[in-house]
Structure 1
Amino acid sequence: MEAAELSARAVEVLTAVATGAATRFGEGAGTAVGDLVRTRLGGTERGRAALDQVDADGDSASARSEAEAALREEIAADPELRRQLAVHLSAPSTRVAGSMVISGSRMSRNTISLGPLTVNNSPGNRVPLVLAAVLLLAVLALGLYGGVQIITSGDDPQDAAPQRSSTRALTAAETLKTVPTVDSMPPGWRSSNGPGVSKAERAGGCHSGRADYQNPATHIRAEFVVYACPVPGQASAGYRELVREQYAYTKTTRVPLPRMGDESTALTYYKSEEDTTMANAIVRVGSVVFWLRYGEVDDQPQYEAQLQQLTRGAVGQIQRVLATGDAGDS
């Protein structure tokens, strides 16, 4: 596969992962390609600028074109990168539903194939054929909603232990647990609002949590917002919209913080009407989106370390809540 084709397909996967459409390419391959492209482009100034454009507007032809051009340079200079991308992009399409993996499923007039299982379309097998088709549709539908895991341990039902998924939907009570408290803030910070949570206003909506803190010594404020959505794809779309909104301000500049969660962006923007510069960190962890507004940072040359510390702590708390669960309301 030529460098131009590799870069074009890789950037297509990158934007699909960002919009939650990675199942079109296979979840495993899509995530691997997206991570590989982000890691490589994030190592150069041109690559970081291209990622900024893709994160701000992944549907923009010019943004994708610039990302492809930057990636072509990296592919031309690194045969190993070319090999890894070729391997992932040549992988057969795979869909994941819970703990079940369906690969190469297909239906035809004579047979139906569900992974390794093939049923001939003969009169005696027509009922199993129909049942297999129904099963295929049911499993694919479950895959769109995160799948179903059935875990047993021994013969006693009490031995069965639920396994929490990092992509599951959080309840409103769990969403509140993800919001940083004043005790989790560095010394000197005081609460000015919250923490609090608002339930989703409609079915299929996202719960939202918020807390605001201020440091009297520096007059810096930190505003934390968490959106807990039903599915990762919805959270990913919300993440991209938040990033796009921040790029609507003037003098928006990317902040080189380490990547966190499934998707992350850090940036500053200047608000001319207030003559202030705000730092932002936006992170998606599974079905949860975290947003930190930190500022003003005009006279704070060391703000990046504090932004990273607060973001990393909040993301870690979200991951713990996703992993452990809570028996709260929905």
Structure 2
Amino acid sequence: MALSAVQILTGLATGAATAVGNEAGRAVSDLVRARLGASEDGRAALDGVSADPADPSAVRGLQEAIREALAADPDFQSRLAVVLAGPPPDVPPAHAVSPQYTGNIIIGGGSKVRNSQISLGPLTITNTRATRASLTGIAGLLVALLALGLYRGVQLLTGDDSSRSAAGASSGPKSPTATPSRSASGTSDDAAPVVRDAAKVQQILPDVASLPRGWAIASGSPTTEQCSSNRVGISKDRQFHYICKTGPVLDLQSGYDPGPGVGYNKVHVEVLAYPSVAAAAEGFVGVEAENADSNEAKQVREVILPSYGDESSAVTMIATVPSIGLQLSQGFAVARCGSIVVRVVISDDNGSTVDLDALNAFTRTVTARAQQALDNTTPTAAVAL
């Protein structure tokens, strides 16, 4: 959200905003300037971008100022979300008035009955005795075909097949046929694609080419292992949700170093490849509960990110570690894409806010790469910050 606001403000400052987007952009600009103008640091951040919209340090300073205001002011956060979404689309008229015709019967678009002729688009039929007889014959044929179709439909529904019985086939009760289970999206679980090859699952993890400039893959990454069947997430109602209890689950993980000048220390991505959609759906609930696990030393709250895959959620956690004088802040996101569950963790070892833009960007990218792998194509989605 902060990144989107900064892009709008810099676009207005450089004249890059289009005439169509000017009105919405002005609304965002007015809201941000009113909020940041209440503090000296906020005014300094605004002045820096106004002086030079292309200055990277000024842009970063404004983005950080907006992010801090969003974290400290829920009302500002909700109002900014509304203006970023833009005005609702125009509502179409409740009723459409059809043109009136006199002396004609409208059969359809471009089709009419006029005097002794019937016009059906490019086809014109003259209303004569021979034509009426032909039409009567065609109508009778259509009725016969409809009756035959209805009869065959009843046969399919009831299982009755007289010709088969006459040939000696059994017409008694037939054994029931098992109905395949279906995923949440309505696809048969048996037919849903899965990825069981570790090398293909590893491609879902962002590689160097898909990272922002200056980023690097952390030392020792990625790792590949079988997810432990004892791994469990405990929900608020103290229910246990096992993450990897249903069959063997490939568990691939990788860490990423953002480099200097970034307000967090590292990003961690985990990809869990399940043998079925049903198993992944159970695993998603477990990881979601694991992310939200809290105690008295942690402050965990749910945050709203765009929806990804078949289901997704995100939380932030802030914990104070008095023994070392640090305040740890983390953002956790989990998404399920068919038979694959992805988890993204943003960590700041000495901060009070979580970079939701980075959490959102990595979650969006890894979910897209998971879908590409399920589509049997090489994942190419890149992280855009």
Q: TM-score, normalised by structure 1?
A: 0.50
Cα shift readout 1:190-249 (whole Å, capped 9, x = no counterpart): 221322322568992211111101123135200110000011111111111111122222
Kindly indicate whether the alpha-carbon contact (under 8 Å) linking 1:170 and 1:322 is maintained by their aligned counterparts in 2: no
Quote the residue 1:286 is aligned against: 338
- 2:276 and 2:154 mapped to 1: Cα distance? 26
Q: Confirm or deny that 1:181 pairs with 2:229.
A: no
Change beyond 3 A, Cα 1:321–1:128: farther
Q: What amino acid does structure 1 have at the position aligned with 2:343? A: W
2:221 aligned counterpart, secondary structure: strand
- 1:127 and 1:302 mapped to 2: Cα distance? 69
1:210 aligned counterpart, secondary structure: strand
Q: Confirm or deny that 1:133 pairs with 2:175.
A: yes
2:282 aligned counterpart, secondary structure: helix
2:365 to 291, 301, 313: 313
- Higher deviation after alignment, 182-191 or 220-229: 182-191
Change beyond 3 A, Cα 1:114–1:227: farther
Kindly indicate whether the alpha-carbon contact (under 8 Å) linking 1:185 and 1:310 is maintained by their aligned counterparts in 2: no
Change beyond 3 A, Cα 1:272–1:147: same
Change beyond 3 A, Cα 1:114–1:290: farther
Q: What amino acid does structure 2 have at the position aligned with 1:194? A: S
Change beyond 3 A, Cα 1:143–1:306: closer
- 1:320 and 1:300 mapped to 2: Cα distance? 35
- In structure 1, runs of 5+ residues without a counterpart are 1-44, 46-112, 149-164
Quote the residue 1:197 is aligned against: 224
Change beyond 3 A, Cα 1:128–1:169: farther
Q: Percent identity?
A: 20
Quote the residue 1:17 is aligned against: none
Q: What amino acid does structure 2 have at the position aligned with 1:261? A: G
Quote the residue 2:347 is aligned against: 295
> Offset at 1:261?
0.6
Change beyond 3 A, Cα 1:121–1:304: same
Q: Confirm or deny that 1:257 pairs with 2:305.
A: yes
Kindly indicate whether the alpha-carbon contact (under 8 Å) linking 1:191 and 1:213 is maintained by their aligned counterparts in 2: yes
Kindly indicate whether the alpha-carbon contact (under 8 Å) linking 1:267 and 1:280 is maintained by their aligned counterparts in 2: yes
> Offset at 1:284?
0.4
Cα shift readout 1:145-184 (whole Å, capped 9, x = no counterpart): 7235xxxxxxxxxxxxxxxx5x434422221111112321
Q: Confirm or deny that 1:226 pairs with 2:271.
A: yes
Q: What amino acid does structure 2 have at the position aligned with 1:207? A: L
Q: What amino acid does structure 1 have at the position aligned with 2:256? A: Y
- Higher deviation after alignment, 178-187 or 268-277: 268-277
> Offset at 1:116?
4.7
Cα shift readout 1:73-128 (whole Å, capped 9, x = no counterpart): xxxxxxxxxxxxxxxxxxxxxxxxxxxxxxxxxxxxxxxx9995322599x59846
- 2:155 and 2:189 mapped to 1: Cα distance? 19
Change beyond 3 A, Cα 1:324–1:169: closer
Q: Over aligned residue pairs, what C-alpha RMSD do you find? A: 3.6
Q: Confirm or deny that 1:119 pairs with 2:167.
A: no
- 1:121 and 1:293 mapped to 2: Cα distance? 61
Quote the residue 1:66 is aligned against: none
- 1:230 and 1:258 mapped to 2: Cα distance? 27
Quote the residue 1:171 is aligned against: 197
Kindly indicate whether the alpha-carbon contact (under 8 Å) linking 1:267 and 1:281 is maintained by their aligned counterparts in 2: yes
2:254 aligned counterpart, secondary structure: strand
How many pairs align? 194
Kindly indicate whether the alpha-carbon contact (under 8 Å) linking 1:209 and 1:225 is maintained by their aligned counterparts in 2: yes
Q: What amino acid does structure 1 have at the position aligned with 2:157? A: L
> Offset at 1:300?
7.2
- 1:198 and 1:229 mapped to 2: Cα distance? 13
Quote the residue 1:212 is aligned against: 255
Quote the residue 1:30 is aligned against: none
Kindly indicate whether the alpha-carbon contact (under 8 Å) linking 1:172 and 1:198 is maintained by their aligned counterparts in 2: no
Quote the residue 2:290 is aligned against: 245
Change beyond 3 A, Cα 1:119–1:317: same
- 2:207 and 2:339 mapped to 1: Cα distance? 21
TM alignment of 1:142-161, pairs within 5 A:
146-148=189-191
Q: TM-score, normalised by structure 2?
A: 0.44
- In structure 2, runs of 5+ residues without a counterpart are 1-73, 75-152, 230-245, 379-385
Quote the residue 2:81 is aligned against: none
- 1:261 and 1:199 mapped to 2: Cα distance? 23
- 1:118 and 1:300 mapped to 2: Cα distance? 67
Kindly indicate whether the alpha-carbon contact (under 8 Å) linking 2:194 and 2:273 is maintained by their aligned counterparts in 1: no
Quote the residue 1:95 is aligned against: none
- Higher deviation after alignment, 243-252 or 300-309: 300-309
Kindly indicate whether the alpha-carbon contact (under 8 Å) linking 2:329 and 2:354 is maintained by their aligned counterparts in 1: no
> Offset at 1:186?
1.2
